[in-house]
Structure 1
């Protein structure tokens, strides 16, 4: 992925295909169906400088071929697999099948289709769309080196108490009052990078990364909410974010890096008043929800030995 010098210029290039949508259905002999829907993006690093400099496309993998490869490889997957494993499979194909391709980035967003329950029974072939999305990115080099990242988009969480914000910097522009009682709401975007650095060191357990995704999501949510009966006090989004990231690294030894983005989606206590004072007295029970403008808080945490 390094640059090269071309006609006296530093030159970097890549090409690929974005927003390739594919759904795959698996059917067991017992009639139970499984379905995934993926939006695939592919980016190839390849020795195809001539296509930029002159009339010579002989070293290019056509982006339409990349699109067709997504469908062909999905068909070849006879057993259900994680979105991470499919991203790795695609990236591995491009770097091994094409001599000119030196590296591949495959990123995938999985829609949250969830099996429905009817009359207390899981439906054999019925699904509904959930909320947060599962993301994956595999970067594979011809040497077999790997960088694997998973993530969550749109994990919306809210708690109606056990949150406050006090003793922040005050100046002539500060209007926000101290409070130890507020709603805390956010939409978590999380990324975590695994410590596997080679295709040859990956876990061989089927659906390993699917299980890990569900476990990470549980740890993030449990840390945000706290125990079911008492909860846990949040003195700031910053502190809660840090505790969520730390809990993830502490719980999963094969995760080397976590990045969390948590906008503070404000629920403003309603205030109806006139020159004589409040018309209606609200007591932490009626709020104005707003998602703009919102606070923006993000941070990353990685192990000291991590190369990241």
Structure 2
């Protein structure tokens, strides 16, 4: 029977990089997955390990490249790491690197950013995916997973088909909240990846927050359009947004009305809205 495809590597390689510029420190905590493909079929089919790089070695290379490149952005770090495997091992045909970041935000005191103190930022986990084929281009994607945001008004859901299965009432004023997974593909390298990523996320939030939403679908498309306009180095952006529902509570049993003031938060079951917006 043929071996159709194979790849292997090391997952959840955790590394914290500290880049020191005098008293000013920058920190980058990553969980890295490094997967390789190439001339490894005989390890599966003939118990022949002669071409197989040990996964412990794959892990060690992550740490070495981290030590040699403390100041690189995650995007640049992943590309350098992928190329290192290709440079060392001719039997490797392609490398796929995925890095998830644990965010640490710099503390400020008296309006002055502290040079080496940080607090954990748990809203969303940035990630980078880099895929490098020997002799070919690098496919690079950045994004964020589980980034939660909401607005308490300026969102509606109206004029949808109604039939005997429909029980949801129409509304022109509702809360809108989500925990978004978003990713964007790079067609070129920006002057600074962290700055460009911050501009993309800031643009998404600004469109969501400052414009009326006819639906999550309506907002996502316009958010994607704005992100592409703001950062010309990305070719497309994908967003997946599960609704975090807030259901108005019925307080009539207590002689009280509820003018969109008190809600039951729930995330199951949730609407799942997804789209990809690209350049024409």
**Shorter-chain TM-score: which interval?**
over 0.9
Residues 1:296 and 2:242 aligned together: no
Query: C-alpha distance in 2, partners of 1:10/1:51?
Result: 11
SS at match of 2:163: coil
Query: C-alpha distance in 2, partners of 1:128/1:149?
Result: 26
* CA distance 1:10–1:53, shift in 2 (3 Å): closer
SS at match of 2:272: coil
Equivalent position of 2:244 in the other structure: 265
Query: C-alpha distance in 1, partners of 2:274/2:47?
Result: 46
Q: Any stretches of 5+ residues in structure 1 without a counterpart?
A: 1-6, 197-201, 227-231
Query: C-alpha distance in 1, partners of 2:127/2:259?
Result: 40
Q: 1:28 aligns with which of 18, 21, 33?
A: 21
Superposed CA deviations along residues 168-210 of structure 1, whole A, max 9, x for unmatched, are: 11121211001001101111111000114xxxxx45x4xx111
- The Cα of 1:10 is off from its aligned counterpart by 5.5
Superposed CA deviations along residues 4-35 of structure 1, whole A, max 9, x for unmatched, are: xxx5x361010011111100112222x12211
Equivalent position of 2:11 in the other structure: 18
Contact (CA 8 Å) 2:184, 2:237: kept in 1 or not? yes
- The Cα of 1:75 is off from its aligned counterpart by 0.6
Query: C-alpha distance in 2, partners of 1:113/1:46?
Result: 36
After the TM superposition, which segments of 4 or more aligned residues of structure 1 sit over 6 Å from their partners? none
Residues 1:138 and 2:130 aligned together: yes
Q: Any stretches of 5+ residues in structure 2 without a counterpart?
A: none
Matches within 5 A, 1:73-222: 73-78=65-70, 80-130=71-121, 131-196=123-188, 202=189, 205=191, 208-222=192-206
Residues 1:62 and 2:54 aligned together: yes
Q: 2:208 aligns with which of 205, 213, 224?
A: 224
Equivalent position of 2:262 in the other structure: 286
Q: 1:233 aligns with which of 212, 230, 253?
A: 212
Query: C-alpha distance in 1, partners of 2:229/2:109?
Result: 38
- The Cα of 1:269 is off from its aligned counterpart by 0.9
More displaced stretch, 112-121 vs 234-243: 112-121
* CA distance 1:253–1:120, shift in 2 (3 Å): closer
SS at match of 1:61: coil
Equivalent position of 2:230 in the other structure: 251
SS at match of 1:127: strand
Contact (CA 8 Å) 2:105, 2:120: kept in 1 or not? yes
- Give the CA RMSD over aligned residues: 1.4
Query: C-alpha distance in 2, partners of 1:235/1:122?
Result: 40
Residues 1:72 and 2:64 aligned together: yes
Superposed CA deviations along residues 25-69 of structure 1, whole A, max 9, x for unmatched, are: 12222x122111001011101111111111210101111111111
Query: C-alpha distance in 1, partners of 2:35/2:76?
Result: 17
SS at match of 1:158: strand
